[in-house]
């Protein structure tokens, strides 16, 4: 089997300052499917075409941001192997028992050099929609509710020591570097896009003095038309849009960024490069960062580098 190790982003737990407006946004504007609420008040969602029970978990808290970002690994043996490999690399790991999150098996939690909590897990209950696994239709009614992405796709996280993150992800977790931005010194990597698949990225990091910050969680749409439709839906609901619709130079994805009611940035995007681990990573110079972010306008939107939660 070609796919082993880390399979894909599995879930993100996001902090929101008020639960009801957040649930309205994620369920009815973004168009995720609510799949449960737990005894501590967290609300669980999946995208309509995802099969596992949850990919976005909202937790009410005093400040917005990200609690943790989790990747699904191939199986339980793989999870134990990562546990050993991480410890051997000097990373302290904490075991979170099965059931701490709804429909989710045991998780391995650890802090990465940028100050983010990452998790690995291998088991999550599959809850396909009726008919999804037998002569399925290409879409269901849920695919028309709100923006309705097909999956939670990646996150961009801001924090210090991103080059140590690069070492951890490539040397222990089996990721490879797809693209990077070189700082004005002409050699230090200041932004990194990393893949565990053939996607342009499964996670990305930008160097930033404050640890553990969320830049955005991104959701995949199927077409440029759906990006434009997402823009319409965001405006109809008076959601603050930051950038787009436009195209990134970096990854070549087509995108819109906006903010949830707590100020957490999200992205809906489509397309982009496909990557393979034998390919050398693409370098972007600091001077071309504006076109890397917004290719048509060649514009480094100031808020993109400064606003994080």
Residue 124 or 248: the one with the smaller Cβ distance to Fe ion is: 248
| Window contacting Fe ion (CB under 5 A); options: 115-123, 176-184, 216-224, 284-292 | 216-224
Distance of alpha carbon 282 from alpha carbon 263, whole angstroms: 31
**Binding to ligand M3P by residue 253, rule CB under 6 A?**
yes
98 annotated active-site: no
Distance of alpha carbon 74 from alpha carbon 123, whole angstroms: 9
Closest CA to 79 of 121, 110, 119, 117: 121
Distance of alpha carbon 121 from alpha carbon 222, whole angstroms: 27
Element (H, E) at 214: strand 213-220
Binding site partner of 226, from ligand M3P, Fe ion, none, Cβ cut-off 5-8 A by kind:
none
**Binding to ligand M3P by residue 250, rule CB under 6 A?**
yes
Q: Shortest approach of ligand M3P to residue 35 CB, angstroms? A: 25
Binding site partner of 251, from ligand M3P, Fe ion, none, Cβ cut-off 5-8 A by kind:
ligand M3P
Binding site partner of 105, from ligand M3P, Fe ion, none, Cβ cut-off 5-8 A by kind:
none
HSE (CB half, 13 Å, CA atoms) of 284? Answer: 23
Using CB under 6 A as the binding criterion, the count of chain residues that bind ligand M3P stands at 11
53 annotated active-site: no
Beta bridge partners of 246: 255
Catalytic residue of the set 68, 154, 208, 215: 154
Q: In the numeric block, which tokens belong to residue 183?
A: 């700082």
Among 49, 67, 179, 267, binds Fe ion (CB under 5 A): 267
216 annotated active-site: yes
215 annotated active-site: no
Distance of alpha carbon 103 from alpha carbon 190, whole angstroms: 37
**Binding to ligand M3P by residue 82, rule CB under 6 A?**
no
Q: In the numeric block, which tokens belong to residue 89?
A: 């690399």
Among 156, 214, 234, 308, binds ligand M3P (CB under 6 A): 156
Residue 197 or 218: the one with the smaller Cβ distance to Fe ion is: 218
Place of tokens 């681990």: 277
- Provide the edge-to-edge strand list for the sheet that holds 176-182: 241-247, 254-259, 265-270, 213-220, 151-159, 203-207, 189-195, 176-182, 282-284
**Binding to ligand M3P by residue 44, rule CB under 6 A?**
no
**Binding to ligand M3P by residue 178, rule CB under 6 A?**
no
Alpha helices by DSSP H, listed for the chain, are: 19-23, 76-88, 162-171, 224-236, 289-293, 302-306
Residue 109: strand, helix, or coil: strand
**Binding to ligand M3P by residue 248, rule CB under 6 A?**
yes
Residue 48 or 269: the one with the smaller Cβ distance to ligand M3P is: 269
Distance of alpha carbon 186 from alpha carbon 109, whole angstroms: 35
Backbone phi, psi, residue 115, to 5°: 90, 10
Catalytic residue of the set 53, 68, 201, 215: 201
**Binding to ligand M3P by residue 147, rule CB under 6 A?**
no
Residue 144: strand, helix, or coil: helix
Q: Shortest approach of ligand M3P to residue 147 CB, angstroms? A: 16
User: Active-site positions?
Assistant: 154, 201, 216, 248, 257, 267
Which stretches of the chain bind ligand M3P, using CB under 6 A?
Answer: 156, 191, 218, 248, 250-251, 253, 267, 269, 292-293
Which stretches of the chain bind Fe ion, using CB under 5 A?
Answer: 218, 267
């Amino acid at each position: 089997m070609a796919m082993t190790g880390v399979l894909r982003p599995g879930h993100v737990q996001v902090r929101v300052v008020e639960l009801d407006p957040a649930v309205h946004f994620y369920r009815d504007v973004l168009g995720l499917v609510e799949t449960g609420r737990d005894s501590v008040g967290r609300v669980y969602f999946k995208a309509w075409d995802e099969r596992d029970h949850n990919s976005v978990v909202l937790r009410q808290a005093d400040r917005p941001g990200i609690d943790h970002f989790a990747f699904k690994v191939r199986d339980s043996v793989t999870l134990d192997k990562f546990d050993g490999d991480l410890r051997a690399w000097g990373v302290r790991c904490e075991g979170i028992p099965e059931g701490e999150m709804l429909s989710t098996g045991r998780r391995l939690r650890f802090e990465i050099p940028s100050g983010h909590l990452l998790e690995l897990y291998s088991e999550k209950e599959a809850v396909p929609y009726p008919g999804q696994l037998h002569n399925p239709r290409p879409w269901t009614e849920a695919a028309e509710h709100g923006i309705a992405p097909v999956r939670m796709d990646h996150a961009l996280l801001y924090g210090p020591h991103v080059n140590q993150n690069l070492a951890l992800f490539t040397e222990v977790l089996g990721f490879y570097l797809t693209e990077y931005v070189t700082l004005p010194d002409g050699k230090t990597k200041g932004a990194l896009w990393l893949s565990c698949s053939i996607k342009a990225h499964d996670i990305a990091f930008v160097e930033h003095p404050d640890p553990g910050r969320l830049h955005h969680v991104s959701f995949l749409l199927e077409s440029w038309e759906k990006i434009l439709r997402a823009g319409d839906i965001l405006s109809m609901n008076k959601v603050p849009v930051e950038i787009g619709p436009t195209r990134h130079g970096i990854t070549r994805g087509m995108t819109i960024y906006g903010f949830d009611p707590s100020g957490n940035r999200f992205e809906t995007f489509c397309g982009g490069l496909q990557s393979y681990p034998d390919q050398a990573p693409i370098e972007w110079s600091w001077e071309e960062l504006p076109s890397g972010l917004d290719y048509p306008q060649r514009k480094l939107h100031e808020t993109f580098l400064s606003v994080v939660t």
